[in-house]
Amino acid sequence: MSFSTRHLDRARAESFGAAAEDYDRYRPTYPADLMDDLARLRASEVLDVGCGTGKAAAALSARGLSVFGIEPDHRMAQVARRRGIKVETTTFETWNPRGRRFDLLVSADAWHWVNPAEGAGKAARVLVPGGHIARFWSFHVLDGPILEDLGRIYAEHAPGVEVGGARQKSTAGVRDPLSAGDDFVSVAQREYRWSLTLNGDEWIGLISTFSDHHRMDPQSRSVLFAKIRGLIDGRGGTVRTTSGTFLQLARRV
């Protein structure tokens, strides 16, 4: 299933709650530079669509913004509430804003789970004119020849699962789909880069939060993770990633 139609797989979209605590523990926080850039938009009211465990919402709240979250899974929402984030448990498509309007809508690693046609229209309705919508996604690419060995492990033990740490497609020249309509104009597309050094348990903890991994049969997943851990241990005990977050920012006209 392509990225643009992934919202149709509702079982996958709503599966993250089964790993809510691991998601909160192992998913990295978002880049401070990204959060600072969003805070500079001077939004007084922020809507976080698919807020998950509240990582982005908490970072924006710490910068003085008032953030309200929408999250379809009650287990993820519960973790966000522990951070002090106000969350309504629902999907964006079915959420009733009750006349509320926002200056900024953010969606961190979640907008691809929203129906694109319904999501664009609803975003336009809940944003004030001149408000912004920021959608961003993180990626983690493993450095070096370890990817070849991982590819063989996945081919043997998880042939239908995307290799964790595989190289990402370039975001250069990617067109913001919201700019195709009449309600939004693209403002910026940026990448924020960093790197991670993780031991075997930390890497497995991270990939265990990926939906195709945590939906595997438990026995098959256990075998896959054991093979990956053995590979990492045999290569010095750590892996290094080239990581980043890709931002698409548009303004409500």
Cite the beta strand spans of 114-174 per DSSP E. Answer: 127-142
Q: Tell me which amino acid residue 33 is.
A: D
pLDDT > 90 in the chain, percent: 86
Q: d(Cα 46, Cα 36) in Å, to the nearest integer?
A: 14
Host H or E run for residue 66: strand 66-70
Q: Per-domain residue ranges for the chain? A: 3-252
Long-range contacts of 83-87 (CB under 8 A, 24+ apart): 83/53, 83/54, 83/57, 83/58, 84/58, 85/48, 85/51, 85/54, 85/57, 85/58, 85/61, 87/51, 87/54
d(CA 145, CA 3): 26
Rounded Cα distance between 17 and 44, Å, is 29
Please give the structure tokens belonging to residue 238. 């750590």
Lowest mean pLDDT among 136-145, 191-200, 238-247: 136-145
How far is 79 from 62, CA to CA, in rounded Å? 17
Torsional sign, CA 222, 223, 228, 229: positive
Please write the tens of the pLDDT for every residue from 76-88. Answer: 999 999 999 999 9
pTM of the model: 0.91
CATH architecture of structural domain 3-252: 3-Layer(aba) Sandwich (3.40)
Percent residues over pLDDT 70 in the chain: 92
Nearest to 134 by CA among 29, 56, 63, 32: 56
pLDDT digit string (tens) for 87-111?
999 999 999 999 999 999 999 999 9
Choice among 12-16, 37-41, 165-169 with the minimum mean pLDDT: 12-16
The pLDDT of residue 14 is 59
